[in-house]
Amino acid sequence: MSFADYIKKNNINIFPNKINFIRSSGAPLKLKDKKLLESIFKKEIVFTYGITEANKLNTTYKAPKGYKKASVGVSIGPRLKISDGEIIVSGPTVFPGYENSDIKRKEYLIDDSWYKTGDLGYIDDDDGYVFITGRIKEMINKGGEKVFPYEVEKIVLEKFDFDKAYVFPYPNEIGSENVGLAVVENGNEITGLKEVKIELKAKFHLLKCRVYFLELMKFQLEMKVKFKEKLYIKKF
């Protein structure tokens, strides 16, 4: 988004006729960033969803109902369905299996044809729009309660004017995990710890959650180490 911010700050004129559309994939694009890009380039943001093992799966491009908030659109061909909360896919673009791997096929293929993406989500029964809510490997086991970082981060970024948010686990005294949250303020709004914790308690019943307000450079540095136990971020 630094490119878009630079264009807006310096009042640079863009020639939208040179661009057909802008595609967003990978990490979810915040709604305010979507609006900013579309206002600058005067073009639609197209969302896509795909994985290496099955190529492109979904898109909002020419989807029957256009863009739907938080959705990656509808299937472009492959069959998708939900199995125990996980998105699985089948079709001619799905790879036949891993070579030279110790991973057993049944660990990533169901009935030898449905690939387990590792992504959690749901599909709207009415129109087939797919929504991704997180990754199985990122799930935090908080005393038997399942907490998905993406869902918490999404609520925090929508509720407060933070630039970044990252939810991570840290061990507790009973052998499970607690939930931590690191955020970077963008300088436009000052938010206190109390307000954030009230929101987390209301939405996710997270009574005990460490919240860190970080400087941007230190945030980027610590993301590289993924909050390992000996590298927990300190409060600033």
8 and 111 part of one domain: yes
100 and 187 part of one domain: no
In a domain, 165, yes or no: yes
47 and 148 part of one domain: no
Domain with residue 72: its CATH number is 2.30.38.10
The pLDDT, as a whole number, for residue 141 is 76
7 and 97 part of one domain: yes
97 and 152 part of one domain: no
The pLDDT, as a whole number, for residue 93 is 92
Per-residue pLDDT of the chain (236 residues; tens, 9 = 90+): 567 777 777 877 777 677 888 888 876 677 778 888 888 888 889 999 999 999 989 999 889 898 888 899 999 999 999 999 899 999 999 998 888 777 788 889 998 899 999 999 999 988 999 999 888 888 887 777 778 888 888 888 888 878 778 888 877 777 778 777 877 777 665 566 677 777 777 777 655 556 655 554 444 545 444 443 333 333 32
Write down how long the chain is: 236
88 and 49 part of one domain: yes
- DSSP letters of the chain? -HHHHHHHHTT----GGG-S-EEE-SSPPPHHHHHHHHHHH-SPEEEEEEETTTEEEEE-TT-TT---TTB--EESSSEEEEETTEEEEESTTS----SS--S-HHHHEETTTEEEEEEEEEE-TTT--EEEEEEGGG-EEETTEEE-HHHHHHHHHHHS-EEEEEEEEEE-TTSSEEEEEEEEE-SS----HHHHHHHHHHHH--SSEEEEE--HHHHHHHHTTTT-GGGPPPP-
71 and 103 part of one domain: yes
Pairing of strands 45-51, 22-24: parallel
CB 226 within 8 Å of CB 196 = no
Full domain range(s) for residue 158: 139-231
125 and 69 part of one domain: yes
The pLDDT, as a whole number, for residue 217 is 42
Q: C-alpha angle with apex 225: 223 to 228, nearest 5 degrees?
A: 115
7 and 31 part of one domain: yes
CB 110 within 8 Å of CB 83 = yes
Number of domains the chain is built from: 2
145 and 112 part of one domain: no
Query: Which of 134, 149, 183 marks a domain boundary?
Result: 134
Q: How many CB atoms lie within 10 A of CB 123?
A: 18
113 and 202 part of one domain: no
Q: Which amino acid, 94?
A: V
The pLDDT, as a whole number, for residue 156 is 82
pTM above 0.75, yes or no: no
The pLDDT, as a whole number, for residue 82 is 96
Distance (Å, whole) CA 115 – CA 82: 11
